[in-house]
């Protein structure tokens, strides 16, 4: 089960998105320092977000890139 | 007799416009990898993503003068792309509001950890329970309205305000869809890693 820190859990996503007020940031950081359970989950969330970004990355086919260049109107 | 000949000012204007147009097209093409990366996850398939990107660039090159220099060109291109995507009727069916929820943000971690033998596993070990395929499939299963926001913010790294502008929805809606979208994604991931039940 979780560590039961409901308020902290609520702050984690906005904290990572960088949209908290300075006071809320301080609150989140202080809690993370005191609570190893939340601290570990926070690290997990940050790594998960990175992993998702990498996992779904698919490079653009070179052939499409050439087609896009062919659409140019300017000469 | 000289009325057909352009004046010096006109010649200069035409030359400047041509130069601006070249610059616009070059800048747009430089962003194509990033545009495709987002398009690939907004669209259901690779073919669909390729068509979308191609149509986006065709439209962008035609209506380049509507772009305001100095503003975010990547967001401008994505705005065209999401509009084209909607025009195609991909989202003709509304996302049901009663998407099964609401698990907390720690739901995925807690479920993964609960299946592991160690008492207090390192978060890296917990993350390793997820495969790349599970992520790709789980994201594809997030309903469109939520997925659009999730892809723009978490994959495309657009700000809330930019995502709101691209999708033409209020910032508050971006935030609520993002919140739910992430939770839906986690639920899908947990089900795939552990099995439903």
Domain ranges in chain A? Answer: 6-70
- Mean pLDDT (chain B) is 89
Residues of A in contact with B179 (CB under 8 A): 13
- How confident is residue B119, by pLDDT bands cut at 50, 70 and 90? confident
For B42, counting Cβ atoms within 10 Å of its Cβ (0-12 exposed, 13-18 middle, 19+ buried), the class is buried
Tell me what percent of the residues of chain B surpass a pLDDT of 90. Answer: 73
Per-residue model confidence as pLDDT tens digits over A14-51: 888 988 999 999 988 998 999 998 999 999 999 999 99
Closest-CA residue of chain A to B36: A60
- Choose among B71, B82, B78: nearest CA to B32: B78
State the average pLDDT over residues B113-122: 88
Residues of B in contact with A53 (CB under 8 A): 154-155
Q: Which residues of chain B are at the A interface, by a Cβ-Cβ cutoff of 8 Å? A: 18, 21-22, 24-25, 29, 32-33, 36-37, 40-41, 46, 50, 53-54, 57-58, 61-62, 104-106, 108-110, 114, 123-124, 126-127, 130, 132, 135-136, 139, 153-155, 160, 179, 182, 185
Q: Is the alpha carbon torsion for B117, B122, B127, B128 positive or negative? A: negative
pLDDT at residue A60, as a whole number: 95
- How confident is residue A1, by pLDDT bands cut at 50, 70 and 90? very low
Predicted TM-score (pTM) of the model is: 0.87
| Partner residue opposite B139 with nearest CB, options A2, A17, A56 | A56
Residue to substitute from A56, A57, A59, A63, interface B, most B β-carbons within 10 A: A56
Statement: residue B36 has pLDDT above 70: yes
- How confident is residue A75, by pLDDT bands cut at 50, 70 and 90? low
State the average pLDDT over residues B185-193: 92
Between CA A53 and CA B101 the distance in angstroms is 23
Walk me through the domains of chain B, giving residue ranges and CATH numbers. 2-87 (1.10.1740.10), 107-194 (1.10.10.10)
Taking the CA of residue B89 and the nearest CA in chain A, the distance in Å comes to 23
Give the CA-trace dihedral at A7, B150, B37, B49, to 10 degrees.
160
ipTM value, please give it.
0.87
- How confident is residue B16, by pLDDT bands cut at 50, 70 and 90? very high
Residue to substitute from A18, A58, A60, interface B, most B β-carbons within 10 A: A60
Statement: residue B194 has pLDDT above 70: yes
Residues of B in contact with A55 (CB under 8 A): 132, 135-136
- How confident is residue A3, by pLDDT bands cut at 50, 70 and 90? low
pLDDT at residue B42, as a whole number: 93
pLDDT at residue B48, as a whole number: 93
pLDDT at residue B118, as a whole number: 85
Give the CA-trace dihedral at B60, B64, B66, B68, to 10 degrees.
110
Closest-CA residue of chain B to A48: B127
Statement: residue A57 has pLDDT above 90: yes
State the average pLDDT over residues B172-189: 94
Q: Who contacts B49 (Cβ-Cβ below 8 Å, separation ≥6)? A: B36, B39, B40, B42, B43
For B135, counting Cβ atoms within 10 Å of its Cβ (0-12 exposed, 13-18 middle, 19+ buried), the class is buried
Residues of A in contact with B155 (CB under 8 A): 52-53, 56
B103, B183 contact by CB (below 8 A): yes
B31, B74 contact by CB (below 8 A): yes
Per-residue model confidence as pLDDT tens digits over B60-117: 999 999 999 999 999 999 999 999 998 886 654 455 555 556 678 888 999 999 888 8
Statement: residue B3 has pLDDT above 70: no
Q: Who contacts A55 (Cβ-Cβ below 8 Å, separation ≥6)? A: B132, B135, B136
């Amino acid at each position: 089960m979780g560590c039961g820190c409901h308020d902290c859990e609520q702050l984690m996503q906005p904290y990572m998105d960088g949209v908290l007020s300075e006071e809320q940031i301080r609150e989140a950081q202080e809690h993370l320092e005191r609570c190893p359970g939340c601290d570990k989950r926070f690290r997990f969330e940050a790594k998960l977000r990175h992993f998702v970004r990498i996992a779904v990355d698919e490079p653009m086919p070179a052939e499409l890139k050439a087609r896009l260049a062919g659409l140019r109107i300017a000469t | 007799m000289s009325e057909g000949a352009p004046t010096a000012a006109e010649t200069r204007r035409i030359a400047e416009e041509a130069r601006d147009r070249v610059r616009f097209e070059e800048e747009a093409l430089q962003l194509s990898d990033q545009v495709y990366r987002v398009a690939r996850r907004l669209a259901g398939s690779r073919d669909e993503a390729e068509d979308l990107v191609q149509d986006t660039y065709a439209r962008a090159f035609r209506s380049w003068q509507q772009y305001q220099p100095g503003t975010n060109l990547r967001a401008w291109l994505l705005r065209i792309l999401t509009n084209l995507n909607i025009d195609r009727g991909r989202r003709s069916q509304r996302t049901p509001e009663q998407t099964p929820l609401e698990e907390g943000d720690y739901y995925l971690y807690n479920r993964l950890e609960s299946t592991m033998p160690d008492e207090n596993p390192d978060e890296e070990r917990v993350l390793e329970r997820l495969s790349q395929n599970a992520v790709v499939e789980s994201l594809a299963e997030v309903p469109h309205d939520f997925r659009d926001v999730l892809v723009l913010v978490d994959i495309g790294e657009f700000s809330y305000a930019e995502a709101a502008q691209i999708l033409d929805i209020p910032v508050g809606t971006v935030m609520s869809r993002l919140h739910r979208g992430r939770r839906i994604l986690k639920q899908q991931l947990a089900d795939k890693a552990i099995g439903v039940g």
